Copies of this chain bind each other. A is one copy, B any other.
Amino acid sequence: MQKFTWPVRVYLEDTDAQAVVYNASYFRFMERARTEALRARGIDHDEARERYGVLFVLIGVEARFRAPARLADLLDVEAHIVEATGARLIFEQGIRRAEGAREPICDAWTDVACIDAARGKPRRWPADLIGKLRKP
């Protein structure tokens, strides 16, 4: 497993009138962490599109929310790659408070597909990209 953690600060934009982080915001945080996990391995959305003609598209998610995050919290958002093959790219993702007791906020699992940018259809991941994703 390739471990990766990205810090996220909670701003007003992320919260809702129930004074907690709005549920869709957690999916934005998890996508930021996935993007940074890819960037750390030399993979960039624009380059993937221009050089390989592929898009990274979320096709599946399971998430369990354990406690709410709140305004001004600093969070650690994980994006661990647990499977990277020609057919699948799976991340194990968790969110926890970065400070104090590091309370878990969310556990999730996300499944990202390789989509051919021109045809809009799924295809296998290019071997080059898989190579970068698997590099220890």
Contacts and interface: CB of A to CB of B under 8 A. Distances in A.
**So how many copies of this chain end up in the complex?**
4
Given A65-B58, A68-B120, A31 B35 contact: no
Contact of A16 (B12, B49, B63): B12
Contact of A12 (B9, B31, B60, B71): B31
A64 B61 CA distance: 7
Contact of A28 (B9, B24, B55, B62): B24
- Most chain B CB within 10 A, of A12, A16, A35, is at A12
A87 interface: no
A13 B24 contact: yes
Contact of A65 (B28, B46, B57, B120): B57
